[in-house]
A and B are shown apart, each in its own frame.
Chain A
Amino acid sequence: MSLVGEADRLCAMAESALPEAFADLAPWLDWALEPERARTEKREASSMDEIRAFYDAVLPRLDEMIRHLEDFRDGDMPAPAHRLYLLTLSLVEVANLVELYKRREAVEACDPLRYVPRR
């Protein structure tokens, strides 16, 4: 193993993917996406069961997550906290499907991917 590769491995071990108190949310890290478009695409590519499982896992932790994130201001969030923040945004992204529409497609709506965020 090269020295560079070894250094990368040690760095990755030192920096866990999520803040320690939220390590149990690691199975949901594939929802830690940005920008918004990536979260919408993930939502569109997921089944209702997958969306509901994510919602059910994250919503009960939301208050705790917000309290943790209040300690950081925009721009100085370490990578694990930033991933946690992206999970909260993905929760918001999918919540209406679970809470209001109660089904996979937003009924009688156009394809969500037609709404293109500028830039």
Chain B
Amino acid sequence: MKTVMREKQWAEKYPALGTGPVPTEPYFSDEHYALERDLIFRRTWINVGRVDDVPEPGDFIVREIAICKVSVLVMRGSDGVVRCFHNVCSHRGNTLVLDERGSCPGSVYCHFHNWVYSDTGQLIRVPDEENFFDLDKAEHGLTPIKSDIWEGFVFVHLDPEPAETLREYLGGVAEQLDGCPFHEMPLMQTYLVDERANWKVGLDAQNELYHFPFQHRRVLGDALVTNDKKQCRYRDLTLYDNHSVWSCEFKRGQKPTALATELFKFDGFLRAFTIPQMIGEFDFFVIFPNFVILLYQLGSTTSYLTYHFWPLAVDRTTWEVSIYFREPLSMRERLRQEYFKCTYRDTLQEDTAMHETLQAGLASGAKSHVILQDNELAIRHFHRVLQDRIGARRNA
């Protein structure tokens, strides 16, 4: 075990963050929500999926950045390149693609007047074109959205001229995870849950270990390494310019349930799958503002999850949870994955209930500040980044 149990060690590592209370107002203020829209979501790299979501030419997905009212069409062209566009027709501004995913090799068309675009975004056909006035099709392709790809993750930036490249923005996270074989772990399932909570309530609730032995005591309560008072500790914590990662370790020698006993029997199929980029056994990367990559290693198998917290309103959020696994080698491994998936899902349903009771309490205004301990330092860092970025852009 590499976890050090000493109290208050992480605030010592990052003394500039301080230890004081953090204001609650950003969780429920309409004014703050507007600032986040204009100064964060419109001016930050936002992940909208993976290149594997559009594997073949003509494949597309549509992702809504609802806080900015932007619908992003992610499409792989016949040239193999993944591009992002505003999902809006050039003619009268209609929403172009209505399906959340699909494939239209070669072209997409608007349902209003059948304007047709190539899968690289060029306007290629206009019915009754002769009846328009000086219409130059070359000037009326789909409106591109600035995008870039890192390790298969597709990011967009709603400012056509971002102040920083994706690589600069990701900084230390990219350095830590460069080469991580995400592409060897295909998507198994995505869940979408609409929560009556501010997007930061869910993110902050996830971004700490303190709650595990309490809130998740029935399912995961005893899964992580704890001290003699049954309290979790970070194994590591790294705070980057914009992002953060904390890690912890799983406890050994747990008594498996009857189902787990069957599912973990040795079945003759064994292929260790470990990822050298990992820090601990459960690495929780928060990629500012709303994206999480959670890598975990159980025994000899590594998998990951992603979270997206999509603000819909100051007190409403779509929480998108995606669960990835390597291709199973055997039926027993396939069922192990199903078991992890169901257990995660059941656990997160406890979280959703908590996010909503949190929002109710915060929005009451009873408490002007929240109080954070040493195992909640990543939350403090997140709020510092949020306020610094809002402040810098307001003053610019």
Contacts and interface: CB of A to CB of B under 8 A. Distances in A.
Interface in A68-119: 69-70, 85, 88-89, 91-93, 95-96, 99-101, 106-112, 114-119
A96 B350 contact: no
A93 B7 CA distance: 39
A89 B356 contact: no
Given A109-B353, A110-B356, A118-B100, A70 B259 contact: no
Interface in B127-154: none
User: Contact residue range for chain A?
Assistant: 20 to 34
Interface string A45-86: 000000000000001001100100110000000000000010
A118 B338 CA distance: 16
Given A66-B267, A92-B342, A115 B332 contact: no
Contacts, number: 93
Contact of A115 (B262, B345, B356): B345
B257 A115 contact: no
Given A92-B339, A95-B259, A118-B192, A100 B348 contact: no
Contacts of B330: 70
A92 B219 contact: no
Interface string A30-54: 0000001000000000000000000
Chain B, interface size category, equals: 35 or more
A65 to B, nearest CB: 9
B216 to A, nearest CB: 10
Given A66-B267, A70-B331, A88-B335, A109 B342 contact: no
A51 B8 CA distance: 46
What is the interface of chain A mostly: helix, strand, loop, or mixed?
helix
Given A115-B193, A118-B100, A119-B101, A110 B338 contact: no
Interface string B350-368: 1011101000000000000
B218 A107 contact: yes
A106 B192 contact: no
Given A89-B338, A95-B339, A96-B346, 13 more contacts: A36-B189, A59-B258, A66-B262, A92-B335, A92-B342, A96-B219, A99-B257, A100-B257, A107-B218, A108-B354, A109-B350, A110-B352, A110-B353
Interface of A: 36, 59, 62-63, 66, 69-70, 85, 88-89, 91-93, 95-96, 99-101, 106-112, 114-119
10 residue pairs, one from A and one from B, having the closest CB atoms: A109-B349, A118-B190, A110-B352, A99-B257, A95-B259, A110-B353, A69-B331, A115-B191, A109-B350, A92-B338
